[in-house]
Amino acid sequence: MSADLSPIDKAKYVAAKRAVDYVHPGMKVGLGTGSTAAWMVRCLGERVREEGLRITGVPTSTRTAELARSVGIQVVSLDEAKWLDVTIDGADEFDRQLALIKGGGAALLQEKIVATASDQMIVIADAAKEVATLGAFPLPVEVVPFGWQTTKALIEETLEALDVLNRDVTLRMNGGRPLVTDESNYILDLHLRRIGNPRQLALVLNQIPGVVENGLFIDICDIVVIGHPDGRVTVRDINEGTERDDRINIEPNDNIFRDFSD
Ligand code: 5RP
């Protein structure tokens, strides 16, 4: 069955499989959102079923909560857990400093709150997500629906004041209507192509009335686990300043592939 997976799914799977080695019995674990994070939730579920691993999961979206419950992970809210040992999540882009763009799956607000409430954040990604400079992926910004067009205009003015060259801002849609997040907000996607100063932009965006949170994760991610379709994984730790290569066996009969449906 694993042979049926696309190269990109193999890369996501091996990154997820390696990352769940960081989870130990009794831990409280933030569960990210997206297709890579879904592999991680399945891999954790496999450890719960096969090793009797006892952990508590804090999901970052209703989608992840459903998946986690379905694979046997005990799920609690962040308020119940209060502080987490580790969060494992995907990303849309990451750079050499492990600054991230997240929110392609519209879950950036819960993802940022959960990751920030964790001792450690581990990002899992295929190698194509690594960039020299963030910004080719449109930057998601979560805004309240009230006055969203005014908020959009204020964001455009701010980008102009920052001398950002490409500043096309679009409302994310879902079936002809604005996409509504789990927190009942809208998402504006900022098509910037290049973000020269992510730290500054992240701070400035959050000063604009109507902006709830932006998808730039700066100084939050500790480790990135990069998966490759041939089973290689690269683990880069920003705090230790280390990079190690490893290999994950993609088992042809791995149970985890049976319920693959993404
Ligand atoms: C969701 C996210 C995701 O982590 C990000 O979009 C990556 O998703 P995928 O693993 O499907 O490429 O930020 O809000």
* Domain locations along the chain: 2-128+219-257, 139-215
Residue 132 tokens read as 């020299």
Task: Out of 35, 43, 261, give the residue to mutate to test ligand 1, the one with the largest number of ligand atoms within 8 Å of its CB.
Answer: 35
Active site residues: 111
Residue nearest to atom 7 of ligand 1 (CA): 91
What's 2-128+219-257's CATH class?
Answer: alpha beta
Integer Cα distance of 16 and 104 in angstroms: 18
Residue 187 tokens read as 């998402």
Each residue's pLDDT expressed in tens, for the chain with a length of 262 residues: 566 899 999 999 999 999 999 999 999 999 999 999 999 999 999 999 999 999 999 999 999 999 999 999 999 999 999 999 999 999 999 999 999 999 999 999 999 999 999 999 999 999 999 999 999 999 999 999 999 999 999 999 999 999 898 999 999 999 999 999 999 999 999 999 999 999 999 999 999 999 999 999 999 999 999 999 999 999 999 999 999 999 998 875 566 666 554 4
Q: Which superfamily is assigned to 139-215 in CATH?
A: ACT domain (3.30.70.260)
Residue 97 tokens read as 């400093």
Integer Cα distance of 139 and 72 in angstroms: 34
Q: Which residues line the pocket of ligand 1, CB cutoff 6 A?
A: 32-37, 89-92, 102-108, 111
Long-range contacts of 68-75 (CB under 8 A, 24+ apart): 68/31, 68/41, 68/44, 70/45, 71/41, 71/42, 71/44, 71/45, 71/46, 71/259, 72/45, 72/48, 73/31, 73/41, 73/44, 73/45, 73/48
What's the gap in Å between 99 CA and the centre of ligand 1?
Answer: 14
Residues 6+ apart with CB under 8 A from 74: 54, 55, 56, 57
Q: Which residues pair with 237 in a beta bridge?
A: 223, 242
Task: Out of 43, 60, 102, 172, give the residue to mutate to test ligand 1, the one with the largest number of ligand atoms within 8 Å of its CB.
Answer: 102
Query: Which atom of ligand 1 is nearest to 32's Cα?
Result: 4
pTM listed for this prediction: 0.96
Q: Which residue has the tokens 């998966």?
A: 227
What's the gap in Å between 32 CA and the centre of ligand 1?
Answer: 8
Question: Where on the phi/psi map is residue 219: left (φ > 0), alpha (ψ -120 to 50), or beta?
Answer: left
